[in-house]
Chain A
């Protein structure tokens, strides 16, 4: 388990290209555009940025040097490739705190060319080696099936229905309709959700996030610089990452995951779950969100179904709105960056029609509820 860290670093700029279903422009060009926009939003010259963290989930990855050159960065003092969500932000914050650099551009570059987690079958013989030899011969080889196995057990344990939890994707769609960056533009009712086809029952089509192409950037910098920029700085108050996955993509639940570390990040931030204004539980699959809400103590275990049902507790206008950008289900698969960008917009008060009424603090989680990372953002 990684340690939790108190940091004094802020998110100060947001940059987005359009998220599209097909790749429309070269990735490097998209990355440069998103980074420029994040700098412009912050009011900082890219030449003054001295750290970069491109995050790519396909190969071959674009060359970081081309992005650096295109941006006109003068000196790169800190560089790291990869990561997803709040965890690499924590690592960047540590680099800034350690004096390795002053500012870091984190840019997520998404390209749908790469399928995610396909079963490894020898194309000549059909042979399956390694641990998945106990799964693929039974037709288990894809993430949505594994998520379905976890989701079924979770729903069975607490008596949640598909409709109870279906309100999360429904409300996220409502939010997406207010978000110009979102790819999903069609209203969806709970009846529409329930009528959608099953992928791996209980996982329906609208329980899976939408793959997109594009680049999305966020700029982090130290407090002394952040206070002189365009927007109210949004501080990363505390974060923690649990262990790296060693198994195949999804581990069997239940593991307690972040829960022991959640107590530490609340303590480091000097706040509790009740102080979190806007909630950003990771929703690469819809079922992750209620699991995360429970693992982070935002709702009690066994109560997420009733909490989500009907949508009134989670939509914009509620005391603690959830994934106000539409989440990955409706904004698009930005692999955690959408949550970060929206949390920043919310806390500095620039979320426009999506603005939450209380917006001093936010909690963000990333990736799988049994293994992922979480962090607390605050304007103070």
Chain B
């Protein structure tokens, strides 16, 4: 590490990364690669246990309920519901410079499996987002390797800004 390299363990290092405009991007590994490969093809695929059919996200080496290590990666519809969200005003994460929504979305196929996909909410105002809001997926190109799944309100969502 050079003297200029920020130390991510310190507050000063975090500030420095923010000033550098560094954008955090996922580093796929053996466990997570199927998710990111699917996203690149504009598909939402998550782990489903071959033994007990449990959906699991983020992906893990083992199925949490049954311990199996065998998974399918079924393609989901990309339809979901906002389980919870915050509006971040502190803006500490590098490349986030305006207040933004962090939401956790239950895919409709896996609502009873506590699968929560962390996402931003696109194509609406900050004040439009609510718990239970129906959302659908879109895909944002970041690099040649990485496409980020994101969500936006469906046509059925009740948005204050559209009233």
Residues of A within 8 A of B1 (CB): 123
Question: Contact check: which of B23, B85, B100, B102 meets A126 at CB < 8 Å?
Answer: B23
Please tell me if A245 contacts chain B, counting CB pairs below 8 Å.
no
Tell me the minimal C-beta distance from B1 to chain A in angstroms.
8
Asked whether B104 lies within 8 Å of A149 as measured between CB atoms, the reply is yes
Asked whether A145 lies within 8 Å of B5 as measured between CB atoms, the reply is no
Say whether, besides A129-B27, A149-B85, A200-B90, A139 and B14 are in contact (CB < 8 Å).
no
Say whether, besides A120-B8, A139-B96, A202 and B86 are in contact (CB < 8 Å).
yes
Please tell me if B28 contacts chain A, counting CB pairs below 8 Å.
yes
Number of B residues contacting the other chain (C-beta, 8 Å)?
50
Residues of A within 8 A of B7 (CB): 123
Stretch at the interface among A47-55, A130-138, A273-281, A340-348: A130-138
Asked whether B14 lies within 8 Å of A118 as measured between CB atoms, the reply is yes
Asked whether A133 lies within 8 Å of B131 as measured between CB atoms, the reply is no
Say whether, besides A118-B14, A126-B22, A198-B87, A138 and B92 are in contact (CB < 8 Å).
no
Residues of B within 8 A of A72 (CB): none
Known: A131-B58, A141-B93, A200-B89. 20 other contacts (CB 8 A): A118-B13, A121-B8, A123-B1, A123-B6, A123-B16, A123-B17, A125-B25, A128-B25, A128-B27, A137-B23, A137-B24, A145-B88, A149-B86, A156-B84, A156-B131, A156-B132, A198-B87, A198-B89, A200-B88, A201-B88
CA gap between A135 and B5 in the complex, in Å: 23
Say whether, besides A129-B27, A139-B93, A149-B104, A121 and B84 are in contact (CB < 8 Å).
no
CA gap between A309 and B107 in the complex, in Å: 35
Please tell me if A124 contacts chain B, counting CB pairs below 8 Å.
yes
Please tell me if A180 contacts chain B, counting CB pairs below 8 Å.
no
Q: Closest B residue to A202 by CB, please name it.
A: B86
Please tell me if B29 contacts chain A, counting CB pairs below 8 Å.
yes
Say whether, besides A140-B102, A156-B131, A119 and B24 are in contact (CB < 8 Å).
yes
CA gap between A224 and B43 in the complex, in Å: 68
Residues of B within 8 A of A137 (CB): 23-26, 142, 148
Sampled A-B contacts (19; CB under 8 Å) = A119-B8, A119-B24, A121-B94, A123-B8, A123-B13, A123-B17, A135-B118, A139-B93, A139-B96, A142-B90, A142-B92, A149-B84, A149-B102, A156-B132, A198-B87, A200-B86, A200-B87, A201-B86, A252-B104
Asked whether A139 lies within 8 Å of B120 as measured between CB atoms, the reply is yes
| A 239-276 to B, binary, CB cutoff 8 A, 1 in contact else 0 | 00000000000001000000000000000000000000
Asked whether A138 lies within 8 Å of B118 as measured between CB atoms, the reply is yes
Residues of A within 8 A of B152 (CB): none
CA gap between A138 and B116 in the complex, in Å: 13
Please tell me if B77 contacts chain A, counting CB pairs below 8 Å.
no
Please tell me if B114 contacts chain A, counting CB pairs below 8 Å.
yes
Tell me the minimal C-beta distance from A188 to chain B in angstroms.
20
Please tell me if B161 contacts chain A, counting CB pairs below 8 Å.
no
**Residue ranges of B at the interface with A (Cβ–Cβ < 8 Å):** 1, 5-11, 13-14, 16-17, 22-29, 32, 35, 57-58, 83-90, 92-96, 100, 102, 104, 114, 116-120, 131-132, 142, 148
Tell me the minimal C-beta distance from B8 to chain A in angstroms.
6
Residues of B within 8 A of A125 (CB): 25
CA gap between A114 and B131 in the complex, in Å: 35
Sorted from nearest, which 5 A-B pairs have the closest CB atoms?
A: A148-B86, A133-B26, A153-B84, A201-B87, A127-B27
Q: Name which of A150, A153, A200 has the most chain B CB atoms within 10 A of its CB.
A: A200
CA gap between A199 and B16 in the complex, in Å: 20
Residues of A within 8 A of B58 (CB): 131, 133-134
**Residue ranges of A at the interface with B (Cβ–Cβ < 8 Å):** 114-115, 118-131, 133-142, 144-145, 148-150, 152-153, 156, 197-203, 252
Question: Contact check: which of B11, B90, B94 meets A115 at CB < 8 Å?
Answer: B11
CA gap between A275 and B29 in the complex, in Å: 52
Asked whether B84 lies within 8 Å of A119 as measured between CB atoms, the reply is no
Say whether, besides A121-B94, A128-B24, A140-B102, A152 and B118 are in contact (CB < 8 Å).
no
Say whether, besides A119-B93, A129-B27, A134 and B84 are in contact (CB < 8 Å).
no
CA gap between A12 and B13 in the complex, in Å: 43
CA gap between A214 and B132 in the complex, in Å: 44
CA gap between A131 and B57 in the complex, in Å: 9
Asked whether B84 lies within 8 Å of A152 as measured between CB atoms, the reply is yes
Question: Contact check: which of A115, A130, A141, A152 meets B86 at CB < 8 Å?
Answer: A152
Residues of A within 8 A of B114 (CB): 252
Tell me the minimal C-beta distance from A214 to chain B in angstroms.
20
Q: Name which of B88, B100, B114 has the most chain A CB atoms within 10 A of its CB.
A: B88
Residues of B within 8 A of A145 (CB): 86, 88, 102
Residues of B within 8 A of A126 (CB): 22-25, 94-95
Residues of A within 8 A of B23 (CB): 126, 137
Say whether, besides A119-B93, A128-B25, A133-B27, A252 and B116 are in contact (CB < 8 Å).
yes
Asked whether A127 lies within 8 Å of B25 as measured between CB atoms, the reply is yes
Residues of A within 8 A of B92 (CB): 141-142
